[in-house]
Amino acid sequence: MRRTNVYLLLVIQQIIAGGTHIVAKAVVGEVDAVTLTFLRTVIAAVGLWAIMRIRSGPHNIERKDWGQMAFLGFVGVALNQFLYLYGLKFSTAANGALLYAATPVFVLILSHFTHREKMKPLKIFGILLAFAGISIVIFERGIDFSSGYAYGNLLILVAVIAWAMFTVLGKDMIIKYGALRTTSAMMICGALMFAPVGLISASRFPFTELNGLHWGGVLYLAIGTSIIGYLLWYHALSRIEATKVAVFSNAQPVFATILSLVFLNYTITPAFVIGSIITICAIYITQVA
């Protein structure tokens, strides 16, 4: 597949991801993060397994690689999905999107340690500048954890770091088994690991109070984000470098902020604007250095 086609798929993936922040913010207000993560991962795992069986047959993953798949499931589900949804309960969709836009910075750092990618002085400057911009957004209302706002932002930041780990460490498995097989195995492992906690929470949740819009949001997160979005992301990783894939996360704040203004009555603060400009400029520096 030509690179232009890969980039087009990444644009589609980022549009889906931008909508994820809006949908997740709306749904997490009605469904607790544990139950929502459980529903999302189970639906995604079953869907991916079905698609894989129809297209490729059994997983046929070597026994020695299941440990790596389990770790990818842990960082991709327990750390990334749960912490993101739980943190978003206290933060905003636009903030979540901006923090995810910092993915290339963390991918670059992790690639340096795992694949010995060189860190030029200008890249180091870009990384430090990105952290300055992220800090402005995280603490845009001051360093006050009593309101939960900064706490939520920090949880999302940890989720972003987990997503960067998922991006960098999953590349070898994608090259070996392909995007569909790897994503399916990873999601099944993540769903199984999260199931004990998720089942307890789901058994106590009043599902009768949910309407069609709530279930539509759950399906968007499960099918749109965790199946289609993950497959597009991993497919791109099988074609081009991880840092070049990650840089497409820069588009998320644009989509999410516009959608937040339209659907969530979001108010843009001066700190968010300043932090956004600094972060995006810093990410650009790390990519061109």
pLDDT digits (tens, 9 = 90+) for 198-221: 999 999 999 998 899 899 999 999
- Note the pLDDT of residue 153: 84
- The structure tokens listed for 263 are 């659907």
User: With pLDDT > 70 as the criterion, what percentage of the chain qualifies?
Assistant: 83
Query: pLDDT tens digits, residue range 3-15?
Result: 667 778 877 887 8
Q: Which residues contact 158 (CB under 8 A, 6 or more apart)?
A: 79, 83, 87
Whole-number Cα distances in Å, 202 to 14, 40, 276: 30, 12, 37
Range of the domain at 239: 3-104+145-259
Three-state DSSP class for 206?
A: coil
pLDDT digits (tens, 9 = 90+) for 159-175: 989 988 888 888 888 88
What's the number of domains the chain is made of? Answer: 1
In a domain, 109, yes or no: no
**Mean of pLDDT over the chain:** 82
CB 94 within 8 A of CB 266: yes
Confidence of residue 123 (pLDDT cuts 50, 70, 90): confident
Q: Is 267 among the domain residues?
A: no
Going by C-alpha positions, the residue among 71, 174, 168, 176 that lies closest to residue 116 is: 168
pTM score:
0.80
pLDDT class for 158, splitting at 50, 70, 90?
very high
pLDDT at 198: 93
